[in-house]
Amino acid sequence: MKVGFIGLGTMGASMAANLAKAEGVELVVHDMRREAAEALVEGGARWAETVRELGAACSVVFTSLPGPREVEAVGAELIDTMAKDGVIVDISTNAVSAVRALHAAAAERGLHVLDAPISGGPRGAKTRKLAFFVGGDKAIFDRVRPLLDAMGDRAILVGAIGAGSIAKLAHNLSGYALNVIMAEVFAMGAKAGLEPLGLFAAIRQGVHGRRRTYDGVTEQFLVNTYDPPAFQLRLAHKDVSLACALGREVGVPMRMAALTLEEMTEALNRGWGQRDSRSAMLLELERSGVEIAVDRAALQAVIEADGAEPPAKT
């Protein structure tokens, strides 16, 4: 099978190198910089001078590009040149609207599109420790699954086209938001007189440090159950109030913490003080007009699917 890979940056070059090792794969590569492909070509990959040349030669093409504009431009050339029933797999972090537009345009020419953005970083790209968040038709996902498995260890079909990009954007947003609040946490602790390494060593032993990042939403939020509480909102509000007060005492700006306290105060004023601390999360669902109530058994099945231990209690 002739498989194309376009975009040989830090992530793309490593992924393409692993893809080249897959059984039955004849790899064709292209990048704006010819030198980015040198190691791959020396290893046996074929260089394509243009996107159109690559598209005409391959039945499956992976695109790893900077953003929506580049994916749109490259996608248009692939649609013009790939043979019917070909598959374009966009592994870029892309706009949902751009992915869906590419999918619609490709369908008119008898082609298929999956959005499959990745998570794992440069090290994961080298070691095949990558997650693919995939959106699209299951039959097409199953067709290219061996190629995804050649580059990563977790390929997850999230839903219809665009679902992979939604999952990736949600994943990245949560990570960067946590970075901002962690900066506040460590700045406050250090300025209050605690040595940063000591703070790190201490808090990573607490409940939030011991569990997986997203497991904090499994017990109350996702299943929409806030009574009886694991930890009461009124007590959590007191804790965050004290942390914000400490920040003021030592002169550390606490913007994210102040927003957190504002949300918790609104929830407290709703009369939810005796409910679980996460009941404040209901405010955002109310504003958004979104209802979330996941079946507990189905949620547990997801947790157990990868052999994870049950989430730690707050």
Query: Is the per-residue pLDDT at 173 higher than 80?
Result: yes
Residues 150 and 195 in one domain: no
Amino acid at residue number 42:
E
Average pLDDT of the residues in 132-151:
98
Whether residue 311 lies inside any domain: the answer is no
Whether residue 146 lies inside any domain: the answer is yes
Whether residue 181 lies inside any domain: the answer is no
Residues annotated as catalytic are 168
Residue in 242, 244, 239, 238 with CA at minimum distance from that of residue 257: 244
**What confidence tier does 305 reach under pLDDT thresholds 50, 70, 90?**
confident
Whether residue 173 lies inside any domain: the answer is no
Query: Is the per-residue pLDDT at 310 higher than 80?
Result: no
Please state, in angstroms and rounded to a whole number, the distance separating the CA atoms of residues 86 and 105.
Answer: 13
Q: For 232-286, how does the pLDDT look when each residue is reduced to its tens digit (9 = 90+)?
A: 999 999 999 999 999 999 999 999 999 999 999 999 999 999 999 999 999 999 9
Whether residue 180 lies inside any domain: the answer is no
**What confidence tier does 11 reach under pLDDT thresholds 50, 70, 90?**
very high
Residue in 99, 176, 116 with CA at minimum distance from that of residue 152: 116
Measure Cα distances from 22 to 2, 150, 265 in Å: 11, 6, 55
Q: How many residues does the chain have?
A: 314
Q: Which residues contact 57 (CB under 8 A, 6 or more apart)?
A: 2, 4, 28, 46, 48
CATH number at 220 reads 1.10.1040.10
Per-residue pLDDT at 80 = 97
Residues 154 and 26 in one domain: yes
Residues 151 and 9 in one domain: yes
Residues 120 and 226 in one domain: no
First to last CA, the chain: 51
Residues 234 and 131 in one domain: no
Per-residue pLDDT at 306 = 74
Residues 200 and 284 in one domain: yes
**What confidence tier does 309 reach under pLDDT thresholds 50, 70, 90?**
low
- How much is the pTM? 0.92
Contact between 88 and 113 (Cβ < 8 Å): yes
Average pLDDT of the residues in 296-305:
92
Contact between 64 and 70 (Cβ < 8 Å): no
Residues 83 and 195 in one domain: no
Please state, in angstroms and rounded to a whole number, the distance separating the CA atoms of residues 127 and 231.
Answer: 40
Measure Cα distances from 188 to 169, 198, 257 in Å: 29, 13, 11
Pairing mode, strands 60-63 and 46-47 = unpaired
Residues 159 and 209 in one domain: no
Please state, in angstroms and rounded to a whole number, the distance separating the CA atoms of residues 79 and 106.
Answer: 6
Query: Is the per-residue pLDDT at 308 higher than 80?
Result: no
Please state, in angstroms and rounded to a whole number, the distance separating the CA atoms of residues 239 and 297.
Answer: 32
Residues 79 and 225 in one domain: no
Backbone dihedral angles phi then psi of residue 76, each to the nearest 5 degrees: -65, -40
Structural domain total, the chain: 2
Residue in 15, 98, 107, 8 with CA at minimum distance from that of residue 48: 8
Residues 37 and 150 in one domain: yes
Average pLDDT of the residues in 305-309:
67
Q: Which domain holds residue 205?
A: 187-305
Q: For 26-50, how does the pLDDT look when each residue is reduced to its tens digit (9 = 90+)?
A: 999 999 999 999 999 999 999 999 9
Q: Among all chains, which residue has been given the structure tokens 């939810």? A: 272
Whether residue 122 lies inside any domain: the answer is yes
Average pLDDT of the residues in 45-69:
97
CATH number at 130 reads 3.40.50.720
Whether residue 6 lies inside any domain: the answer is yes
Query: Is the per-residue pLDDT at 134 higher than 70?
Result: yes
Average pLDDT of the residues in 100-122:
97
